[in-house]
Amino acid sequence: MKSTWLPSSLLLLLVELSCCVSLQDGGKPNFVLMMVDDLGIGDLGCFGNTTLRTPNIDQLAEEGVKLTHHIAASSVCTPSRAAFLTGRYPIRSGIAAKQITSVFILNGVSGGLPSHEVTFAKIAKQQGYETALIGKWHLGLNCESSDDHCHHPNAHGFNYFFGIPLTNLRDCQPGHGTVFQLYKYLPYRTLGVILVSVVLLHYVGLITLRRRLVLGLLSLLAVLTGLTVGFIKMTLYLNCVLMRDHVVVEQPFVSENLTQRMTHEAVDFLERNSAGPFLLFFSFIQVHTAMFASKAFRGTSRHGIYGDAVHEVDWSVGQIMQTLDRLKLRENTLVYLTSDQGAHLEEITATGEVHRGWNGIYKAGKATNWEGGIRVPGILRWPGKIPSGRQVDVPTSNMDLFPTVVQLSGAAVPEDREIDGHDLMDLLQGTVERSNHEFLFHYCNAYMNAVRWHPRDSTSVWKAFYFTPNFYPENETACFHTHMCFCTSDYVTYHDPPLLYDLTRDPSESTPLTPDTEPAFHSILAVMKEAVEKHQRSVEPVENQLSGWNMIWKPWLQPCCSTFTQLCQCREDEEGG
């Protein structure tokens, strides 16, 4: 028998080619996961909008599956993103505040997603994936020094990072005001009563105010006011930071063309890693305030700068989809698009310019657990694996992406911790009719706010509220007096018995049920109460990453690309980047 012989170099080349082919054709899929910031479910044409143009996202929905009852695990950015990455309720990671502030608003703080948490990126990386996060992080940066980067995306499984470690604060664009609106929370009435009382007591002779004491108090007040104003002015340089991996490349960043730059970074990543497998998390900075759009998109919508920003997001999605097609990766890439929570309804400028999105028929918006705050778009496409044009109306969660990605990457879902998400593939492919979410729990910061129940023998989806935010003005479904709704006792109304809705019959949550209108009222609430108690027993105590200490600005943790005396300023092109 005659033996065949191949040069060793050619043999190695054939082996490498066969590995690439097996990965792309019959092996591990690629993942492109896109999350838009503060996008309302009603802002997309495929979810009912008729005045904004979103052809690329609409096409994605036509070619895949649309989730109409897709729920964010939190109604604000930081906890919602923690849940998305880990498949766990944010309270399990300690990303649940007990005070008013529920997200990170400073770079120089010590809180963040703990290192012991496991993200889908970390598992995918272990499975041989190239991983990247482009865009917004908002889950912390440092622990003990300005460059330890213990909470950095690279520490959580992302090989490459280009984006902002915090969020797009209105402070990052001159002329848009500040997020640090301290004047809204000062105790004016108490201070006024104290001042008037002291003056009266001095006037009737019961106390004597020394001139030196008065001057000292006024001086102290002036110093504190000056420091506060100075800190707010410095926010532009402290918090508006653009990074590439571990290097600050722009401080403060320029917003206008940032979506364009991020899109180019995403395309470059796809081109560099087209042999796969890869995982790209494109975390849009738009459409969070302060609003921006590049020159090509300004004035293209009927809804001002907000609509222009939505148009630019849709363009970006189109660029990524075209790149997948050009690289012949369409058939082996699972694409997902969502929003981290509902539209921020309080975003209306002092001059009346609307900077907010639309939540369709759903009540209220961001920072509430009404449907408008947590029901978000859910679109998944994977040609040949997921049928096109399919719609799923049963409850699903953004936490479900964790087990879905993990299992498709070839790994097993961790068994050493509670995972609250459920694999979506059977539901997407239509082999089952309902998801595994019988109950979904809705926290407002660290407080159990509401619970959703989809009984296994019923089409109804019940939702009970234990407290609701106090809207202002009362005829609105928003909290304009504080710019967003809060969860602490001064800002909410508690309900006993809880408010109960059947979302199947009343998705707008317009009329709460009563024992008169729902015969099973008390038994439904009893089942939900038992489920809440069981869930709460499964929550183990962990360090609160949003505690007062973890949220206090610590100068030694502040990222700065130059020096504080130079106001931490740099531009990537100036560094030869």
Any idea which residues carry the catalytic annotation?
77, 138
**Phi, psi dihedrals of residue 330, rounded to the nearest 5°:** -55, -45
Greatest extent of the chain over all pairs of C-alpha atoms, in Å: 121
Q: Which helix (H) or strand (E) segment is 324 a member of?
A: helix 304-326
Q: Residue 328 burial by CB count (10 A; 0-12/13-18/19+): exposed, middle or buried? A: exposed
Q: In sequence order, what DSSP letters do the residues of 488-551 get, joined into one string?
A: SGGGEEEEEEEEEEETTT-TT--S---TTT-TTHHHHHHHHHHHHHHHHHT------TTSHHHH
- Between CA 68 and CA 375 the distance in angstroms is 8
Residue 404 — φ and ψ, nearest 5°? -65, -50
The CA distance from 571 to 577, in Å, is 9
- Give the whole-angstrom CA distance, residue 160 versus residue 125: 11
Residue with the two structure tokens 């609250």: 420
Where b means 16+ CB within 10 Å and e means fewer, 355-370 reads bbbbbbebbbbbbbbb
3-state secondary structure of 345: coil
> How far is residue 213's CA from residue 205's CA, in Å, rounded to a whole number?
17
Per residue, what are the HEC states of 124-178?
HHHCCCEEEEEEECCCECCCCCCCCCCCCHHHHCCCEEEEECCCCCHHHCCCCCC
Q: Are 87 and 403 in contact (CB under 8 A)?
A: yes
Check: CB of residue 358 under 8 Å from CB of residue 43. Answer: yes
Cβ contact 252:237 at 8 Å:
yes
541 touches 208 (CB < 8 A) = no
- 462 neighbors 500 (Cβ within 8 angstroms): yes
Cβ atoms of 282 and 35 within 8 Å: the answer is: yes
Strand ranges inside 196-264, DSSP E: 242-244, 247-250
* Residue whose C-alpha is closest to residue 451's, from 379, 534, 508: 534
Tokens of 365: 């918006």
Q: Do 139 and 121 contact (CB within 8 A), yes or no?
A: no
